[in-house]
């Protein structure tokens, strides 16, 4: 055989071998696929480092509240705290002092006492018809009256009440007497009156002289000290 035929035969054999290898690889069964999968390397992420940083920054920005929202939340918390403290502050305020009420005198049971008049020539002063001469704290007073406005056989009523109480009907009757001077000892008089129990401790007391003739009356204020 000549050399040319040998070369052609060798080329034909090589082509046949290559064709058989390609056919087996394309038509391999499931076993060949599993072997290929086992031989594949671990999957590798194809995301770039730049993309990862962008996504991380976006997620962080979404999770963080805006500065305006933080300020608004802080202001709301301060207002709520102030509202919560306000009732406590109001509760600690000192209560306003109520005006001291004027005590109402109370009379004792039974008729008012009949007092004795001591006639004299003393006078309280010009145009002064009744005045207090002496005070014994929470016990008694000595009242002086002038005769110029008193009539013979006049009924006298002595009353007491706290200063500032102008409803004289609520005063306590501290004594009664009948004015009957004999002319030898004078027409003025003094009288000792007991301070009623309900007025003891009262700083200023009004003593009032009333008669059965409403055109004649008088009063004076004395300090119960």
Position 102 in a domain: no
Q: How far apart are CA 195 and CA 128, in angstroms?
A: 23
- pTM exceeds 0.75, yes or no: no
Q: DSSP secondary-structure letter at 190?
A: E
Position 195 in a domain: yes
Higher pLDDT, 124 or 82: 124
Position 55 in a domain: no
Determine the structural domain holding residue 177 and report its residue range. 118-223
Position 69 in a domain: no
Q: Estimate the share of the chain in helix, then strand, then coil, as percent rounded to the nearest 5.
A: 35, 25, 40
Is the pLDDT score of 73 beyond 70? no
Q: What is the pLDDT of residue 33?
A: 46
Position 209 in a domain: yes
pLDDT tens-digit profile of 98-108? 666 655 555 55
Q: At a CB cut-off of 8 Å and minimum separation 6, what does 118 contact?
A: 189, 190, 191
Position 192 in a domain: yes
Confidence of residue 26 (pLDDT cuts 50, 70, 90): very low
pLDDT tens-digit profile of 164-175? 998 988 999 999
pLDDT tens-digit profile of 59-71? 555 555 545 455 5
Q: What is the pLDDT of residue 127?
A: 84
Position 208 in a domain: yes
Is the pLDDT score of 54 beyond 70? no
**18-56 burial, b for 16+ CB within 10 Å, e for fewer?**
eeeeeeeeeeeeeeeeeeeeeeeeeeeeeeeeeeeeeee
Phi, psi of 214 (to 5 degrees): -65, -10
| pLDDT-wise least confident of 22-26, 48-52, 149-153, 215-219 | 22-26
The CATH number of the domain holding residue 184 is 2.60.40.1930
Q: Is residue 110 within 8 Å of residue 178, measured between CB atoms?
A: no
The total number of structural domains in the chain stands at 1
pLDDT tens-digit profile of 185-217? 889 999 999 999 999 999 999 999 999 877 777
């Amino acid at each position: 055989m000549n050399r040319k035929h040998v070369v052609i035969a060798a080329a034909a054999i090589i082509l046949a071998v290559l064709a058989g290898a390609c056919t087996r690889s394309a038509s391999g069964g499931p076993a060949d696929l599993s072997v290929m999968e086992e031989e594949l390397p671990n999957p590798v992420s194809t995301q770039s480092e730049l993309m990862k940083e962008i996504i991380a920054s976006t997620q962080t920005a979404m999770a963080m509240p805006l500065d305006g929202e933080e300020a608004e939340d802080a202001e709301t918390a301060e207002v709520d705290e102030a509202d919560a403290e306000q009732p406590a502050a109001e509760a600690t305020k000192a209560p306003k002092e109520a005006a001291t009420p004027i005590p109402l005198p109370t009379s004792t049971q039974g008729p008012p006492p009949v007092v004795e008049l001591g006639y004299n020539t003393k006078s309280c002063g010009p145009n002064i018809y009744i005045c207090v001469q002496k005070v014994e704290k929470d016990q008694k007073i000595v009242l002086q009256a002038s005769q110029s406005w008193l009539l013979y056989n006049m009924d006298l009523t002595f009353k007491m009440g706290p200063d500032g109480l102008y409803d004289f009907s609520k005063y306590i009757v501290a004594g009664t007497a009948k004015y009957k001077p004999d002319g030898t000892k004078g027409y003025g008089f003094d009288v000792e009156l007991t301070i009623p129990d309900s007025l003891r401790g009262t700083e200023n007391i009004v003593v009032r002289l009333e008669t059965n003739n409403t055109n004649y009356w008088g009063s004076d204020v004395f300090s119960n000290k």
